[in-house]
Amino acid sequence: MKKSILSLRILMVALVAFSMTACNSPGQPGVDQPFEAVEVFPTPPRPDGQDHVLELRADPIDTVSVAIIGLGMRGQGAVRRLSFIEEAEIVALADVVPESVERAQQTLRDMGRPEADAYTGADDWKTIAERDDVDLIYICTHWDLHAPIAVYSMEQGKHVATEIPAALTIEEAWELVNTAEKTRRHMMMLENVNYDFFELATLNMAQQGFFGEIVHVEGAYIHDLRSLLFAEEDGYWDMWRLRHNKEFDGNLYPMHGLGALAHILNIHRGDRMEYMVSLSSDQFGLTQYAKEQFGEDSEYAQAEYAKGDINTSIIKTARGKTIKLQHDVVSPRPYDRIHLISGTDAFARKYPSPGITIDGQGHGFIPDDEMQELLEKYEHPIVTEVGEVAREVGGHGGMDFIMDYRLIYCLHHGLPLDQDVYDAAEWSAVIELSRVSTENQGMPVKFPDFTRGAWNELETVTYYSSDDN
């Protein structure tokens, strides 16, 4: 019922827009009546007594007591990585699969860390969030539980870090924002790509003016996941990710491509994403793969999948910048996040191979040795500090460790986190916004302003250090 009402509302707005455009002079569509993006998700007023949490600071924590909820693919790695950080102590482990809890306990033993309290009940995350001796809830469950656990945990006075996405709907995103503002607790989405070495270097380049005025950026999540999507064992628990591809179209996983670029563009720190358009191809890949692997008459081959193979979305910001995002997890393509920055003075791209172009030096990339010199020159201070250790610890080449290190570092020193609740809400909002646009033939849809006007109070993204206290 809710979906049909929303579709009807969009259709009515579209008909009004069409009738207005039809009255314009021939050959001049939209001149008399400028086009307006559809306001499907308006920004509600901030509840009384709340204020924004931009650059929120909380009391420093000597040793951060961590509870990890969800010990599947991502949770197991988090147990190991956090065990390398002296200021962190894992005090609780939870998963509905007891073997996963025991595996995590063994990791703690192997790392010389004490065993944590173990939980295996489906709702034990509530009990954990209510404990007085937990500072941080670290969520690695399937997507549907991310926002509910995060909201409840903040209500219990806990800081929260959740694997991506932080929210699946605009409603969930607002719940995260309102709860963080009300409780004054940190809420961070664990976007690890922001901490990859090339991405941190290009952030430093952008902040030092290397690109000039940045005009356009591109990101993606292109990753052939077909074997994992259909894996009944050793894949996603209860095949939850295949279910999302059955039920929803649009960009289901925008954060890896968007996160680092959003920081480069200072989103909600001097700029904001205003509206987007999104289109998906039809669905071909999942059905073809299912027929080849399980037979044409199999349940998987006969199933309907809402998710088009390739989704492309374009976002316009308040400062006139554009962002292109793509999502594709079913094509036989090489892994690709693109990570492209185009400015008035320079250009950089990470995939399929790193390359940098500087204005006035021809139409090709500068030589590899010159590029390496630039990357070393603009190495981010965080990489200088912990990059060597991160490479040794690992986790997607080290970026996962840097992410965890920075989270604990900021909580330990009472600093604003690198990523805040507005990042989590804005980047996750692309999921539903892209779905609405796609379902309505690419109609532009507006982003809610999750900061409620505060986005213009800051000028740039800052990754704080203890020297800034």
- pLDDT tens per residue across span 344-362: 999 999 999 999 999 988 7
Task: Report whether pLDDT(27) > 60.
Answer: no
pLDDT bucket at 307, cuts 50 / 70 / 90: very high
Taking a C-beta distance cutoff of 8 angstroms, is the pair 83, 76 a contact?
no
pLDDT digits (tens, 9 = 90+) for 135-193: 999 999 999 999 999 999 999 999 999 999 999 999 999 999 999 999 999 999 999 99
pLDDT digits (tens, 9 = 90+) for 259-289: 999 999 999 999 999 999 999 999 999 999 9
Buried b (16+ CB within 10 A) or exposed e, 167-206: bbebebbbbbbbbbbebebbbbbbbbbbbbbbbbbbbbbb
- The secondary structure element, H or E, covering residue 444 is none
Q: What is the pLDDT of residue 1?
A: 43
pLDDT digits (tens, 9 = 90+) for 109-144: 999 999 999 999 999 999 999 999 999 999 999 999
Domains in the chain, please, with CATH?
Answer: 64-190 (3.40.50.720), 194-468 (3.30.360.10)
pLDDT digits (tens, 9 = 90+) for 85-102: 999 999 999 999 999 999
Predicted structure pTM score: 0.92
Q: What percent of the chain has pLDDT over 90?
A: 89
pLDDT bucket at 469, cuts 50 / 70 / 90: low
Q: Provide the mean pLDDT of the chain.
A: 93
pLDDT digits (tens, 9 = 90+) for 217-257: 999 999 999 999 999 988 999 999 999 999 999 999 999 99
10 Å CB burial of residue 95 (0-12, 13-18, 19+) is buried
Task: Report whether pLDDT(11) > 60.
Answer: no
Q: What is the pLDDT of residue 164?
A: 97
Write the CA distances from 301 to 200, 293, 306, 309, integer angstroms.
42, 9, 14, 15
Q: What is the pLDDT of residue 443?
A: 95
Q: What is the pLDDT of residue 363?
A: 86
Write the CA distances from 31 to 22, 25, 34, 222, 317, integer angstroms.
11, 8, 6, 38, 22
pLDDT digits (tens, 9 = 90+) for 417-458: 999 999 999 999 999 999 999 999 999 999 999 999 999 999
pLDDT bucket at 30, cuts 50 / 70 / 90: very low
